[in-house]
């Protein structure tokens, strides 16, 4: 009896050692940079926050492309649509929380 794996077809590629290595190295760099920025106090205030957010977004993109294989999906983009919907919800929650906290700081 032949074993069939219904979750993965033979045509799907899960990445090569090279792509995993590149993704891993990018992840390490994008983790070390914010640590160094904070530890060595290279940036202060808003610049520090912006640098950390940029590193976080880049880290997120690296994870999606190299480890979640989002760019390699051949079927309808249900995962991408779900991800975008989740990001919109996250953005609304974070922006709303920030707006409420800023309003409360100014009001008192």
Based on the fold, state whether residues 25 and 65 are members of the same structural domain. Answer: yes
Q: 38 and 21 share a domain?
A: yes
CA distance 105 to 94: 16
Q: What is the pLDDT of residues 20-61, one digit of tens each?
A: 999 999 999 999 999 999 999 999 988 998 999 899 989 988
Do 79 and 51 reside in the same domain of the chain? no
Distances (CA, A) of 44 to 23, 38, 62, 63, 75: 29, 9, 26, 27, 45
The total of structural domains in the chain comes to 2
Contact between 34 and 48 (Cβ < 8 Å): no
Domain match, 47 and 94 both: no
Flag whether 6 is in a domain: no
Residue 20 lies in a domain: yes
Asked if residue 106 and residue 67 are part of one domain, the reply reads no
Is the residue at 79 inside a domain? yes
Q: Are 61 and 106 part of one and the same domain?
A: no
Instruction: Determine the structural domain holding residue 91 and report its residue range.
Output: 75-108
pLDDT band at 86 (very low <50, low <70, confident <90, very high): confident
Note whether residue 66 is domain-resident: yes
Which pLDDT does position 79 carry in this prediction?
75
């Amino acid at each position: 009896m032949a074993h069939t794996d219904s979750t993965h077809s033979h045509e799907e590629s899960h990445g090569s050692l090279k792509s995993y290595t590149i993704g891993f190295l990018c992840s390490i760099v994008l983790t070390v940079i914010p640590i160094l920025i904070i530890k060595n106090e290279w940036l202060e205030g808003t610049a520090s926050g912006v640098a950390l957010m940029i590193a976080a977004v880049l880290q997120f993109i690296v994870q999606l492309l190299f480890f979640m294989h989002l760019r390699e999906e051949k079927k309808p983009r249900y995962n991408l649509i779900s991800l975008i919907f989740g990001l919109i919800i996250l953005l609304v929650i974070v922006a709303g929380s920030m707006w409420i906290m800023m309003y409360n700081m100014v009001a008192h």
